[in-house]
């Protein structure tokens, strides 16, 4: 299997070089590979898997990779080569560009070796852990309502798009395995990627991985309904940052909300400038935020410590196909482990020795682990916020 992967990778790099894809200043320079001058393919297990690594110091603004437009697998490129697909699309004007791109990808994959992009297709991952791949138990493992709602929305959207695209795929007479919902999940997850600043939940939604230390991560806490009417900006600005600090917008809104209605208009300019209104106001705001975070943490089925123990157990199952008796573990993480394994047809009687874990079960454990990692990181943000606010209260209000 590994030898086949290496051979496919070599073929892909040679194919890419023949098309003019290059990391060299002169793409015409003779080389069997398109890489090596500036970049190499490396594996980043903590940040999404395979990607590019620099092989030399790179200056700002320097061109590091050249890809001709003709090499891109786009909906337009596929349609221009396939009259049948082009003609059929005229009957479905309401399909989105992303749906058409997913159909085009499945159409090319169904051709096998006869596809012009076959060397590239062999390099595409065979499975993903994006949120819309999560089943109901894996969704519930996220625990936090916002994350569950986001995931359920992503699943619903993906199913709707598949149902809308199914008549066209049937008309194209794709092989049965390429018109299933599972095939659509794969195709939707493969080119629908874009880069930017993401929270961990957004990384999970769009990429299928998260970062243990993510400076862009944030947590949202339930706010009083009136608070939203006091803030004219986007609700996404009312958050707690990854290090536990309430955002400027959250503090500003809370300070204004705590102020009596009759005085809000006269002091709003002070609040919007980022200044405290009074010692009493600031103390009330910080205590209110602390109480919100504590209530949230106490309401979840597991604590941060229990999530850590659960992650250790999941890693043990992944790496050693076994589950040791952990005397420190409370009932909550133990019950969750049973639920994971039993949902994948692993009986409790099997837990005494080496577990027989199928590939499908491993994929489910991977997604469950991501869910637990995400909720642990979210809880840590709330815990850090409590620590930050308590520290300020102890120093300034005692």
Most confident of 28-32, 91-95, 322-326, 356-360: 91-95
Q: Span 114-121, mean pLDDT?
A: 91
Q: Judge whether residue 140 has pLDDT over 80.
A: yes
Q: Judge whether residue 350 has pLDDT over 70.
A: no
Q: Judge whether residue 320 has pLDDT over 80.
A: no
Round to whole Å and give the CA distance between 356 and 280.
61
Residue with the larger pLDDT of the pair 322 and 297: 297
Which of these, 151, 135, 152, lies nearest to 206 by C-alpha position? Answer: 151
Percent of the chain with pLDDT over 90: 40
Strand partners, 49: 44
Residue with the larger pLDDT of the pair 329 and 22: 22
Q: Are 201 and 239 spatial neighbours (Cβ–Cβ below 8 Å)?
A: no
Q: How confident is the model at residue 303 (pLDDT cuts 50, 70, 90)?
A: very high
3-31 as b/e: b if 16+ CB within 10 A: eeeeeebeebbebbbeeebbbbeebeeeb
pLDDT tens across 183-215, in order?
999 999 887 666 678 999 999 988 888 888 899
pLDDT in the model for residue 313: 85
pLDDT tens across 229-272, in order?
888 878 889 999 999 999 999 999 999 998 988 888 888 888 88
Round to whole Å and give the CA distance between 160 and 137.
21
Lowest mean pLDDT among 186-195, 298-307, 373-382: 186-195
pLDDT in the model for residue 47: 63
Q: Judge whether residue 326 has pLDDT over 90.
A: no
pLDDT in the model for residue 27: 64
Please provide residue 135's backbone torsions phi and psi, each rounded to the nearest 5 degrees: -85, 180
**Distant-in-sequence, close-in-space partners of 290: CB < 8 Å, separation ≥ 6:** 385, 386, 389, 390, 393
Which of these, 234, 207, 235, 250, lies nearest to 374 by C-alpha position? Answer: 207
Lowest mean pLDDT among 9-13, 27-31, 69-73, 320-324: 27-31
112, 240, 294, 354, 363 from 358: Cα distances, Å: 27, 40, 40, 13, 9
Residue with the larger pLDDT of the pair 330 and 370: 370
Q: Are 342 and 375 spatial neighbours (Cβ–Cβ below 8 Å)?
A: no
Q: Judge whether residue 329 has pLDDT over 60.
A: no
């Amino acid at each position: 299997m590994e030898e086949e992967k290496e051979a496919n990778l070599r073929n892909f790099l040679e194919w890419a070089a023949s098309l003019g894809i290059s990391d060299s200043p002169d793409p015409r320079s003779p080389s069997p590979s398109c890489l090596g001058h500036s970049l190499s393919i490396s594996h980043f297990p903590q940040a999404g898997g395979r990607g590019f690594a620099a092989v030399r110091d790179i200056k700002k603004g320097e061109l590091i990779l050249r890809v001709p437009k003709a090499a891109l697998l786009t909906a337009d490129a596929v349609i221009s080569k396939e009259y049948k697909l082009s003609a059929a699309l005229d009957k479905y004007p309401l399909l989105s560009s992303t749906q058409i791109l997913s159909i085009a990808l499945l159409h090319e994959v169904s051709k096998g070796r006869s596809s012009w992009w076959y060397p590239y297709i062999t390099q595409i991952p065979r499975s993903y852990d994006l949120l819309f791949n999560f089943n109901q138990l894996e969704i519930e493992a996220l625990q936090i309502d916002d994350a569950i709602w986001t995931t359920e929305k992503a699943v619903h959207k993906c199913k709707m798009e598949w149902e809308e695209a199914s008549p066209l795929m049937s008309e194209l007479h794709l092989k049965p395995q390429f018109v299933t919902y599972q095939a659509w999940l794969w195709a939707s997850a493969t080119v629908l990627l874009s880069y930017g600043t993401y929270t961990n939940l957004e990384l999970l939604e769009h990429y299928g991985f998260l970062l243990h230390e993510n400076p862009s991560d944030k947590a949202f806490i339930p706010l009083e309904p009136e608070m939203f009417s006091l803030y004219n900006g986007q609700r996404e600005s009312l958050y707690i940052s990854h290090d536990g600090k309430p955002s400027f917008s959250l503090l500003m809104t809370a300070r204004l909300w705590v102020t009596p209605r009759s005085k809000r208009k006269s002091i709003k300019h002070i609040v919007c400038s980022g200044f405290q209104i009074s010692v009493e106001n600031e103390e009330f705001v910080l205590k209110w935020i602390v109480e919100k975070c504590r209530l949230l943490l106490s309401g979840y089925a597991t604590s941060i410590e229990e999530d850590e123990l659960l992650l250790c157990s999941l890693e043990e199952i992944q790496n050693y196909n076994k589950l040791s008796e952990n005397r420190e573990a409370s009932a909550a993480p133990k019950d969750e482990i049973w639920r994971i394994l039993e949902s994948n047809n692993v009986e409790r009687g099997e837990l005494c020795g080496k577990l027989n874990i199928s590939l499908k079960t491993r994929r489910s454990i991977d997604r469950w682990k991501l869910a637990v990692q995400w909720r642990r990181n979210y809880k840590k943000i709330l815990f850090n916020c409590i620590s930050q606010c308590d520290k300020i209260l102890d120093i300034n209000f005692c």
